[in-house]
């Protein structure tokens, strides 16, 4: 992966949340580097602890980008993950983006709903516990015949030793609670849009 410090610039920036900047990895365009820019150290620690737990469990990385470790950058320590791209090479956009612009993406809605149902089933079958699920922390990867939804932020169990991480029955209950809250959040955030209620009802 090259030597020395990674040089991140405004050119390499692909996304920014409240706490982190996300850049294309300068040596590998299939990966991104996330750097905390505002009070996110605790979240990063929790995220990496949970990622290590999932790596030890040897899960299939269907619903989460893989984590490749940390590298130094010119703007601070960076965490390297898969950068999710559509099949045309564009960086995938968030679920929030598609729901904000629903008018332009009506035709995609059944496929997005299907990928969300698939995501929920995968979280349950692999017992992957998330923190609060938010549409700005999920990306919709557009492939030629379908879409695929991945969670790109707020992964992890606030307590890695929590019983839900080890006993799938309790994990499932927790995931279902998170999912119900996610649906309630979608209703609050997007219910002014006519097409959305039918969409949410089928998740």
Ligand X SMILES: Nc1ncnc2c1ncn2[C@@H]1O[C@H](COP(=O)(O)OP(=O)(O)OP(=O)(O)O)[C@@H](O)[C@H]1O
Residue 165: how many other CB atoms lie within 10 Å: 21
Q: Does 32 bind ligand X (CB under 6 A)?
A: yes
Q: Tokens 């290590």 appear where? A: 52
Which of 82, 153 has the CB closer to Mg ion?
Answer: 153
Choose one: 13-21, 51-59, 69-77, 162-170; the region binding ligand X (CB under 6 A): 13-21
**Positions 103 through 142 that interact with Mg ion (CB under 5 A):** 137
Binding mask 51-90 toward ligand X (x if CB under 6 A, else -) reads: --------------x---------------xxxx------
Which DSSP state fits 142?
E
Shortest Cβ 19–Mg ion spacing (Å) = 7
**Positions 142 through 171 that interact with Mg ion (CB under 5 A):** 153
Among 12, 63, 73, 92, binds ligand X (CB under 6 A): 92
**Positions 157 through 196 that interact with ligand X (CB under 6 A):** none
| Separation CA 63–CA 74 (nearest Å) | 30
Among 3, 4, 11, 18, binds ligand X (CB under 6 A): 18
Residues 6+ apart with CB under 8 A from 52: none
Which of 27, 197 has the CB closer to ligand X?
Answer: 27
| Separation CA 161–CA 139 (nearest Å) | 28
79 binds, among ligand X, Mg ion, none (CB under 5 to 8 A by kind): none
Return the exposure string of 2-35: e unless at least 16 CB atoms fall within 10 Å of the residue's CB, then b: eeeebebeeebeebebebbbbbbbbeeeebbbbb
Which of 54, 152 has the CB closer to Mg ion?
Answer: 152
Shortest Cβ 106–Mg ion spacing (Å) = 26
Torsion on CA atoms 84, 17, 172, 112, rounded to nearest 10: -50
- Say whether 150 sits in a helix, a strand or coil: strand
Q: Does 152 bind ligand X (CB under 6 A)?
A: yes
Q: Does 120 bind ligand X (CB under 6 A)?
A: no
């Amino acid at each position: 992966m090259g030597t020395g410090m990674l040089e991140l610039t405004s050119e390499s920036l692909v996304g920014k949340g409240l706490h982190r900047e996300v850049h294309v990895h300068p040596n590998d365009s299939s990966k991104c580097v996330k750097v905390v820019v505002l009070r996110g150290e605790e979240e990063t620690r929790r995220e990496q602890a949970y990622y290590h737990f999932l790596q030890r469990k040897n899960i299939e990385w269907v619903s989460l980008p893989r984590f490749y470790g940390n590298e130094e950058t010119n703007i601070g320590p960076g965490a390297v993950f898969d950068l999710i791209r559509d099949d045309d090479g564009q960086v995938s956009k968030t679920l929030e983006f598609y729901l904000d612009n629903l008018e332009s993406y009506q035709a995609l809605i059944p496929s997005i709903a299907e990928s969300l149902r698939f995501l929920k089933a995968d979280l349950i079958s692999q017992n992957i516990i998330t923190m609060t699920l938010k549409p700005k922390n999920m990306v919709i990867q557009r492939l030629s015949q379908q879409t695929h939804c991945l969670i790109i932020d707020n992964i992890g169990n606030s307590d890695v030793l929590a019983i839900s991480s080890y006993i799938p029955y309790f994990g499932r209950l927790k995931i279902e609670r998170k999912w119900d809250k996610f649906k309630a959040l979608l209703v609050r955030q997007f219910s002014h849009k006519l097409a959305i209620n039918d969409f949410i009802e089928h998740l």
